[in-house]
């Protein structure tokens, strides 16, 4: 599924949407990956805050 498709599916069904790029890469930097701990913490926070989601 494409990003657009995932966003559309989330919107149509009232689901939270997570773009994995938003938690894997450092904001405002080109091709700089965040630490494994930061990625895991962001993912855990998203999952804890949403019962139904699309990634």
pLDDT at 39: 98
Two tokens, residue 8: 């559309």
Where exactly are the structural domains of the chain?
3-54
pLDDT at 1: 65
SS3 18: coil
d(CA 34, CA 40) in angstroms, rounded, equals 10
Give the distance between the most distant pair of CA atoms in the chain: 33
8-51 residue pLDDT tens: 999 999 999 999 999 999 999 999 999 999 999 999 999 999 99
Is residue 34 within 8 Å of 25, Cβ to Cβ? yes
pTM: 0.83
């Amino acid at each position: 599924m494409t990003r657009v498709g995932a966003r559309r599916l989330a919107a149509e069904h009232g689901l939270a949407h997570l773009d994995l790029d938003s938690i894997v890469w450092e904001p405002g930097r080109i091709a700089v990956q965040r630490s494994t701990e930061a990625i895991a913490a962001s993912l855990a926070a998203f999952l804890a805050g949403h019962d139904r989601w699309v990634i």
